[in-house]
Structure 1
Amino acid sequence: MSESINRVVLAYSGGLDTSVILKWLQQTYNCEVVTFTADLGQGEELEPARRKAEMAGVKPEHIFIDDLKEEFVRDYVFPMMRANALYEGLYLLGTSIARPLIAKRQIEIANMVGADAVSHGATGKGNDQVRFELGYYALNPDIKVIAPWREWDLTSRTRLIEFAEAHQIPVAKDKRGEAPFSTDANLLHTSSEGKVLEDPWEEVPDYVFSRTVNPEDAPDTPEIITIDFERGDAVAVNGEGLSPASLLAKLNDYGRTHGIGRLDLVENRFVGMKSRGMYETPGGTILHLAHRAIEQLTLDRGAAHLKDELAPRYAELVYNGFWFSPEREMLQAAVDHSQAKVSGTVRLKLYKGAVHVIGRKSPNSLYSEKVVTFEDDQGAYDQRDAAGFIKLNALRLRLLGRRDR
């Protein structure tokens, strides 16, 4: 320890790692620890975290358990969905998009309680350490950050358990020995990685999946749903208006039933290594495809194609932890401007792991049946205009051809 820390805000789940970190911070820095547990819809009972923090000596007024589900979906998931962001073309960024909100709230609490440091439980091998800390520094450039996994000598699960038992920290029975895999969950997704998933040749075991039924066991009858959009955001399912978090939860239920949203991915981490993860994003998968469908009707070709060019860059910024960067905010402004007319209804068929768009309509549609029809268009389009259009576009190709013939 090289710095004097008086009070630190710890991102705390109540699990083995952060329970050990809490005690380690108290011992190593001789400081007061404030715990912060975010309810992002992970589906777990969070009150045990409060009891564990109290048992570890944290003052009741310094235990924060905050319901952030609506803020999470409204201010983080929905803006990302407007951008159609997919990391490496596939990943819907469920873990990545949660980190800036956790970091933001940690800094807010640090300001409230007069803490001079924040801490997290992310390891030195992963992306989350980068995401948390870039968020901290963007929001408070002078904050001190403690990353125990980069400091301590508890380098294995066995060492953690030994430390926990030596300090009377409860250890769940299923945590004794090596865990089969690690998970992270929120309202958007569940991710699993490590151990049984580390060999990319081996199929993901059935017991790893927690958010979706096996598509092979999903209902044999398709289900039809509709999603209404206003200015790029989903506002209703089957005509029922819902808050952002309630809407995503509703789509999660449909996705679970029909086995939608499973992804087995070998990705490139920001820190340089490849990792294999299994992601379940049931509602997000439905929402992503529905949003693209309503944009098909309402976005001009130039805007749509530009968005497709910007989406990978946007996704990379989110994945790498640059949510609070000026470039992400610039991209968001462009994306949000494009959504002014993205309103309407999409009809989808859900069936055995797949989402099929089967209809879309919008009061702002740019689709003209009169222009596109194969029947008599009654003068809406003069087909002779295409000749000059083709000749102009072919001019450079003809010049190249004559030169190189």
Structure 2
Amino acid sequence: MSKSVKKVVLAYSGGLDTSVILRWLQDQYGCEVVTFTADLGQGEELEPARKKAEMMGIKQIYIDDLREEFVRDYVFPMFRANALYEGTYLLGTSIARPLIAKRQIEIALETGADAVAHGATGKGNDQVRFELSYYALKPDIKIIAPWREWDLTSRTKLIEYAEKHQIPVPKDKRGEAPFSQDANLLHISSEGKILEDPAVPADLDLILSRMVTPESAPDKAEEIAIDFERGNPVAVNGEKLSPAALLTKLNELGGKHGVGCIDIVENRFIGMKSRGVYETPGGTILFAMRRAVESLTLDRGAMHLKDELMPRYAELIYNGFWFSPEREMLQAAIDHASEAVTGRVTAKLYKGNVIVTGRSAPKSLYDADIVTFEEDSVYDQRDAEGFIKLNALRLRLRGRLLGR
């Protein structure tokens, strides 16, 4: 892109890649750099990122705690849709990118920056997610994607560049990392290197950091209860919690019992397949128990329509279209359906499983008087004959034409 950039807001973690990017931006563009580090519950100390940015001469440093906003305004709306990408992935990385991008654009407006930059590679989905969000929120923004521009194509070259420019390189970064991880409050993803061959079983004892394996989980089940209001979880075991605190609590419970690890091969938006191991303990509990309260409170037609819309909604988030009009349209319908989703669900956590044991709701559509196997006065079983014959009419007509 044009080198005429005055000030750029960099999504900055303080790690090797983004520290090299920081200096590279200064060298290649001769511009002022503003760093932005988002606390999304990744579980890392973020102050070292500030110190590293200061050491590299950065004057405007943003470190923002976005955990509550992340869960309240991004994770919970997505879970109201029961979103699963390709039937398995709870979209833990995908849903974090639009929030990071939104805050970058806000900082650009606050500081008068004319560009934003990210550290996503040219092979992955994140470059698309970041940049679609940037353009949706500020159509004239300039975007710098160093991995698509520079010739630092290996870890060795990154380390050489860092050493040349006196950028500290931690000892654990000098060796070849066995896999790459990305974490936030919803999940931890592990990809690459030793995980690239989908035929080779993942060494979960090496990889897992938020949860134990099901084999290592306690031999005794633990009972939990979640209260929902208008589609969102609000309490665990009777204790009211904020969105971020609630998800943190579910992560602890799920992690203890080996809940929420998947090993999948997924289709990236850019066209290639990738293998990843994802840890989503709290989200896995939430998904199962939320569906349970919906089973009581959603009409059959509404529930089935939601299930039809879900793959499209999930694909939009995976592909980076959070700020698109079609996602907002789907969200409006999903949120309308969630108005009645209030109630309590109980479950047992046991060796990787979430076993729903009970559900109740003040506006439940479940009527014991109708479904009972005992004698009742509200349902005339003879009505079923006409219902069946009407539904069979087209099948009978077709059968006659086929000579049956």
The Cα shift of 1:175 comes to 1.3
The Cα shift of 1:166 comes to 0.5
1:88 to 70, 82, 86: 86
For residues 342-364 of structure 1, give each alpha carbon's deviation from its aligned partner in whole angstroms, at most 9, with x where no partner exists. Answer: 00000010000100000000001
Distance 2:353 2:119 in 1: 36
Partner of 1:4: 4
Instruction: Give TM-score, length-normalised by structure 1.
Output: 0.99
Partner of 1:315: 314
For residues 59-111 of structure 1, give each alpha carbon's deviation from its aligned partner in whole angstroms, at most 9, with x where no partner exists. Answer: 1xx10000000000000000000000000000000000000000000000000
The Cα shift of 1:2 comes to 2.8
Partner of 2:355: 356
**Coordinate RMSD, CA, aligned:** 0.6
Report if the CA contact (8 A) 1:224-1:347 is conserved.
yes
SS of the residue corresponding to residue 100 of structure 1 reads helix
Kindly report which structure 2 residues correspond to 1:166-315, keeping only aligned pairs within 5 A, or say none.
166-205=164-203, 206-315=205-314
Partner of 1:148: 146
Distance 1:130 1:280 in 2: 23
Distance 1:127 1:401 in 2: 50
Q: Tell me if 1:50 matches 2:44.
A: no
1:66 to 57, 64, 69: 64
For residues 38-68 of structure 1, give each alpha carbon's deviation from its aligned partner in whole angstroms, at most 9, with x where no partner exists. Answer: 0000000000000000011101xx1000000
The Cα shift of 1:179 comes to 1.1
For residues 275-331 of structure 1, give each alpha carbon's deviation from its aligned partner in whole angstroms, at most 9, with x where no partner exists. Answer: 000000000000000110000000000000000000000000000000000000000
Amino acid at match of 1:372: V
The Cα shift of 1:178 comes to 1.8
Report if the CA contact (8 A) 1:10-1:22 is conserved.
yes
Q: Tell me if 1:76 matches 2:74.
A: yes
2:123 to 122, 125, 138: 125
SS of the residue corresponding to residue 265 of structure 1 reads strand
Report if the CA contact (8 A) 1:262-1:280 is conserved.
yes
SS of the residue corresponding to residue 48 of structure 2 reads helix
SS of the residue corresponding to residue 136 of structure 2 reads helix
Q: Percent same amino acid at aligned positions? A: 76
The Cα shift of 1:380 comes to 1.1
Distance 2:213 2:277 in 1: 14
Distance 1:390 1:158 in 2: 70
Partner of 2:41: 41
Instruction: Give TM-score, length-normalised by structure 2.
Output: 0.99
Distance 1:171 1:402 in 2: 78
Amino acid at match of 1:182: S
The Cα shift of 1:336 comes to 0.1
Report if the CA contact (8 A) 1:20-1:160 is conserved.
yes
Distance 2:230 2:383 in 1: 35
The Cα shift of 1:165 comes to 0.6
Amino acid at match of 2:54: E
Partner of 1:107: 105
Report if the CA contact (8 A) 1:158-1:177 is conserved.
no
The Cα shift of 1:177 comes to 3.1
How many matched pairs? 402
- List gaps (5 residues or longer) in structure 1: none
Amino acid at match of 1:170: P
Distance 1:175 1:271 in 2: 28
For residues 176-228 of structure 1, give each alpha carbon's deviation from its aligned partner in whole angstroms, at most 9, with x where no partner exists. Answer: 13211000000000000000100101111121111111111111110000000
The Cα shift of 1:169 comes to 0.7
Report if the CA contact (8 A) 1:344-1:362 is conserved.
yes
Distance 2:343 2:294 in 1: 9
1:394 to 387, 392, 395: 392
Report if the CA contact (8 A) 1:116-1:143 is conserved.
yes
Distance 1:18 1:92 in 2: 27
Distance 1:56 1:272 in 2: 37
SS of the residue corresponding to residue 198 of structure 2 reads coil
SS of the residue corresponding to residue 151 of structure 2 reads coil
- List gaps (5 residues or longer) in structure 2: none
Distance 1:354 1:171 in 2: 41
The Cα shift of 1:3 comes to 2.8
Amino acid at match of 1:83: A
For residues 213-271 of structure 1, give each alpha carbon's deviation from its aligned partner in whole angstroms, at most 9, with x where no partner exists. Answer: 11111111100000000000000000110000000000000011001000001000000
SS of the residue corresponding to residue 318 of structure 1 reads helix
Distance 1:68 1:137 in 2: 21
Distance 1:376 1:385 in 2: 15
SS of the residue corresponding to residue 400 of structure 2 reads helix
Distance 2:313 2:341 in 1: 19
Amino acid at match of 2:163: E
Distance 2:123 2:171 in 1: 26
Distance 1:13 1:30 in 2: 21
